[in-house]
Amino acid sequence: MKKLFITIAFVAAAMFSQAQGLFIGGNIGLTSTKFMSDAKEFSFEIAPNVGYMFADNMGVGLELGYGYKKETPVIGDDVKTSTFAFAPYFRYVFAQLDNFKFYGDVKVAFMFGKHGDDKTSGFGVGLVPGFSYDFTEHFAMIANLNILSIGYTQYKVEDAKQTNFGVGVNQNTDLSVGFVYNF
């Protein structure tokens, strides 16, 4: 499956390599939490992406992702979770002020992985607000702040399903920061 993700990324990059609106980039995240009860949680995520702006304010892209999480409870064994994901998205830039661009991504995510010894899979649809700051004509920083979230996610662990629908403000305030190179 890893080979499939790499192949998709290279095919997408090759298709748009001559295009002026092509961009590549990604996000990386690391979280470590220690609770008052001495339980711990550690997570790591990396999500490279490739996209194409076909108009000044509209574009499409594909984000590939890998996530790892280790939960260490006070009593019991550690639980390790690993997740692979791919998420095609549509981006709409709704405002631009000097070097700042404010956008919204509509993503459709497909996920699969392992939670402990159980296989997991998931599907999600969400609206992710974000902004970018152009340092130069080709290099920009992007940030997605989970202040506003709207989405639907369904996870399946073996035969059990969990479905979430959420509309919220300031749920976890996860900040995702990345960099983009525009061709």
Instruction: Look up the CATH number of the domain holding residue 110.
Output: 2.40.160.20
* pLDDT at res. 149: 56
Which tens digit of pLDDT belongs to each residue from 161-182? 777 766 655 444 466 777 788 8
Encode the chain (183 residues) as per-residue pLDDT tens digits.
Answer: 556 555 555 555 555 454 458 989 888 888 888 887 788 999 988 989 999 999 889 999 999 999 999 988 888 888 898 999 999 999 999 999 999 999 998 888 888 888 888 888 887 787 888 889 999 988 898 887 655 556 666 667 767 777 776 665 544 446 677 778 887
For all residues of the chain together, what is the average pLDDT?
80
Instruction: Specify the number of domains making up the chain.
Output: 1
* pLDDT at res. 2: 55
* pLDDT at res. 92: 95
* pLDDT at res. 79: 87
Exposed/middle/buried for 73, CB within 10 Å: 0-12, 13-18, 19+? middle
Q: Which domain holds residue 15?
A: 2-182
